[in-house]
Amino acid sequence: MAAGAAEAAVAAVEEVGSAGQFEELLRLKAKSLLVVHFWAPWAPQCAQMNEVMAELAKELPQVSFVKLEAEGVPEVSEKYEISSVPTFLFFKNSQKIDRLDGAHAPELTKKVQRHASSGSFLPSANEHLKEDLNLRLKKLTHAAPCMLFMKGTPQEPRCGFSKQMVEILHKHNIQFSSFDIFSDEEVRQGLKAYSSWPTYPQLYVSGELIGGLDIIKELEASEELDTICPKAPKLEERLKVLTNKASVMLFMKGNKQELKENGELLPILRGEN
């Protein structure tokens, strides 16, 4: 009986009831993998996923599993942008390293196993990974003359600040490429450290951080935005460049090798008859 009770206690998933308790937990469990289940009592899938978690807890005693009623602790839910339940967050060293939205038991199992066994406690492996990440971030920030790291995409922004940023860039006809930081947790956290900048969206020009929405708004107000960011070429500009490309320019249908409708003109220009 005693053994059974002990087993039940180990497998039980602790409930986190406040933001303070959550912060404390992050600190306490920094050395191991912490999995947090954001749930709601009215969602039946959450009950099922709790059972899955309990099973995983039995199999992997070195991993900490907790659950948090999303609507009961809104500051934590809002901070991590929990928009639906169940949502699972994975923490190591008090840092969020992964996320799973939805009741996908096999996916949860896979992620837990992967993070539990990943060698983030080996210093040499860590250094190697950090160097690769920095190189990757350097390449990403230089991927285009103007790079926007945002939440979501320009077509579907997933945060108010990112949406405003895209609107300003479009309004000023600025040419930029974008990266959805929701698509890659490693980049999302890594870039914050790389640039010592804690928030998104982040705008880069020639690989250098210009700033976030506040700064872009101030640059817009002081009319400096146009000088700092590259513009998308307007049609008039493109035509000007093209018509001046050579002393004589022929705008035709098809190219010189494949004569089509303007076939009569070419021989004349070439001096043939």
User: Quick one: tokens of 198?
Assistant: 């804690």
Binding part of the chain for other proteins, among 102-110, 165-173, 196-204, 264-272 by CB under 8 A, reads 196-204
Measured from the CB atom, the residue of 65 and 176 that comes closer to other proteins is 176
Q: Minimal distance in Å, beta carbon 67 to other proteins?
A: 21
Q: Minimal distance in Å, beta carbon 195 to other proteins?
A: 10
Name which position in 105, 215, 252, 259 contacts other proteins (CB under 8 A).
Answer: 215
Measured from the CB atom, the residue of 194 and 197 that comes closer to other proteins is 197
Name which position in 51, 214, 226, 237 contacts other proteins (CB under 8 A).
Answer: 214
Q: How many CB atoms lie within 10 A of CB 129?
A: 16
Q: What is the DSSP string of 58-112?
A: HH-TTSEEEEEETTTSHHHHHHTT--SSSEEEEEETTEEEEEEES--HHHHHHHH
Task: Answer yes or no whether residue 219 interacts with other proteins by CB under 8 A.
Answer: yes
Q: Minimal distance in Å, beta carbon 213 to other proteins?
A: 8
Task: Answer yes or no whether residue 212 interacts with other proteins by CB under 8 A.
Answer: yes
Residue 209 dihedral angles phi and psi, to the nearest 5°: -70, 125
Binding part of the chain for other proteins, among 3-11, 108-116, 190-198, 247-255 by CB under 8 A, reads 190-198
Q: How far apart are CA 134 and CA 145, in angstroms?
A: 19
Q: How far apart are CA 273 and CA 267, in angstroms?
A: 6
Task: Answer yes or no whether residue 207 interacts with other proteins by CB under 8 A.
Answer: no
Task: Answer yes or no whether residue 199 interacts with other proteins by CB under 8 A.
Answer: yes
**Residue numbers 108-147 binding other proteins by CB under 8 A:** none
The alpha carbon of residue 38 and the mean position of all alpha carbons in its chain are separated, in whole angstroms, by: 20
Buried b (16+ CB within 10 A) or exposed e, 15-26: ebeeeebbeebb
Q: How far apart are CA 218 and CA 244, in angstroms?
A: 37
Task: Answer yes or no whether residue 71 interacts with other proteins by CB under 8 A.
Answer: no
Measured from the CB atom, the residue of 15 and 78 that comes closer to other proteins is 78
The alpha carbon of residue 166 and the mean position of all alpha carbons in its chain are separated, in whole angstroms, by: 15
Measured from the CB atom, the residue of 71 and 78 that comes closer to other proteins is 78
Name which position in 146, 210, 225, 229 contacts other proteins (CB under 8 A).
Answer: 210
SS3 content of the chain, % helix, strand, coil (to 5): 50, 20, 35
**Residue numbers 154-173 binding other proteins by CB under 8 A:** 161
Q: How far apart are CA 152 and CA 253, in angstroms?
A: 40
Give the x/- contact pattern for other proteins in 4-33, rule: CB under 8 A.
----------------x--x----------
Measured from the CB atom, the residue of 20 and 102 that comes closer to other proteins is 20
Q: How far apart are CA 255 and CA 234, in angstroms?
A: 24
Cross-strand partners of 101: 87
User: Which chain residues interact with other proteins by CB under 8 A?
Assistant: 20, 23, 74-75, 78-79, 161, 196-199, 209-215, 218-219
